[in-house]
């Protein structure tokens, strides 16, 4: 993690730590030592402590006795996580279509283009971050910070799970032509769905935005499910609803 100067408030420290967690630079279960983090970031322990509190609220850090650790990922909770994603995504996209401003639309379109510029298959982290920013822009356009907080928390959880899965996939996908082709197909469909979502939000078509949110959820879930089942022979026996195959 790079040192940074003059970023001395808890929100900025939280942003740096969140990025490190989502990039898997800080692994699940790792103890977060306030003194060590403060030294690495050239800040006092106070903003680090504030950041940890924020990340606990986001679900990315959890208390383990008196220690703070990077939140572990419990496979038993995955079905609940994706249930929450479906409900919150539909709600956010409906609200974004209804309430978006012109400035919101500009921000959404910019992040959509940023994602399309990041689809070089050799850089999965940048691609995932661009995708996250696209969906967070839609979340901000909803105009309801309470629903956005719910959706953003769930979104971070699913992004984190996906990155854990695709960290494994990246070790094999570029050696396997069929896997590369599968990824390219997935990215093309993702771009198509993003553009359809933006069109619906621009047109303020609430019902279409809702349906497209469901379609995008299905695409995301199937992608993670496919990789998840390929990586672990124990969980290959189950789908994301917890149902035996």
pLDDT (0 to 100) of residue 5: 40
β-strand partners of 62: 69
Greatest CA span in the chain, whole angstroms?
Answer: 53
Give the model confidence (pLDDT) of 183-197 as tens digits: 888 899 999 999 999
- Domain 10-70 belongs to what topology? Arc Repressor Mutant, subunit A (1.10.10)
Strands (E) located in 39-159: 61-64, 67-70
pLDDT per residue over 19-76, tens digit each? 888 777 888 889 999 999 998 988 999 999 999 998 898 788 989 888 999 988 777 7
User: Residues 80-107: what's their mean pLDDT?
Assistant: 97
Instruction: Give φ, ψ of 214 to 5 degrees.
Output: -65, -45
> What is residue 108's predicted lDDT score, i.e. its pLDDT?
98
The DSSP letter of residue 60 is: S
DSSP designation for 72: P
Separation CA 149–CA 201 (nearest Å): 20
> What's the whole-number mean pLDDT along residues 94-119?
96
d(CA 58, CA 156): 8
Closest by alpha carbon to 154, among 76, 225, 28, 60? Answer: 60
| Residue 46 CB neighbour total at 10 angstroms | 14
**Which of residues 85 and 224 earns the better pLDDT score?**
85
The domain 75-237 having CATH identifier 1.20.120.530: the answer here is yes
Domain spans, the chain: 10-70, 75-237
Q: For the chain, how many helices (H) and strands (E)?
A: 9, 2
* Residue 46 contacts residue 8 (beta carbons within 8 Å): no
């Amino acid at each position: 993690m790079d040192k940074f100067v003059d970023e001395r408030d808890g929100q900025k420290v939280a942003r740096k730590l969140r990025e490190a967690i989502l990039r898997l630079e800080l692994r699940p279960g790792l103890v977060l030592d306030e003194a060590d983090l403060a030294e690495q970031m050239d800040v006092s322990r106070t903003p680090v402590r504030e950041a940890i509190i924020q990340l606990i609220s986001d679900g990315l850090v959890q208390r383990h006795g008196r220690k703070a650790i990077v939140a572990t990922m419990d496979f038993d909770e995955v079905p609940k996580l994706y249930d929450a994603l479906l409900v919150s995504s539909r709600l956010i996209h409906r609200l974004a279509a209804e309430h978006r401003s012109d400035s919101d639309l500009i921000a959404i379109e910019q992040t959509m283009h940023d994602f399309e510029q990041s689809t070089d298959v050799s850089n999965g982290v940048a691609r995932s971050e661009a995708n996250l920013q696209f969906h967070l822009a839609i979340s901000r356009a909803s105009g309801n910070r309470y629903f956005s907080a719910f959706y953003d928390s769930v979104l971070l959880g699913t992004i984190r799970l996906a990155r854990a899965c695709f960290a494994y996939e990246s070790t094999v996908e570029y050696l396997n032509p069929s896997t590369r082709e599968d990824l390219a197909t997935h990215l093309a469909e993702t771009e198509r769905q993003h553009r359809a979502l933006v069109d619906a939000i621009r047109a303020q078509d609430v019902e279409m935005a809702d349906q497209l949110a469901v379609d995008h959820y299905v695409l995301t879930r199937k992608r993670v499910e496919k990789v998840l089942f390929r990586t672990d022979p124990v969980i290959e026996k189950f789908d994301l609803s917890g149902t035996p195959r």
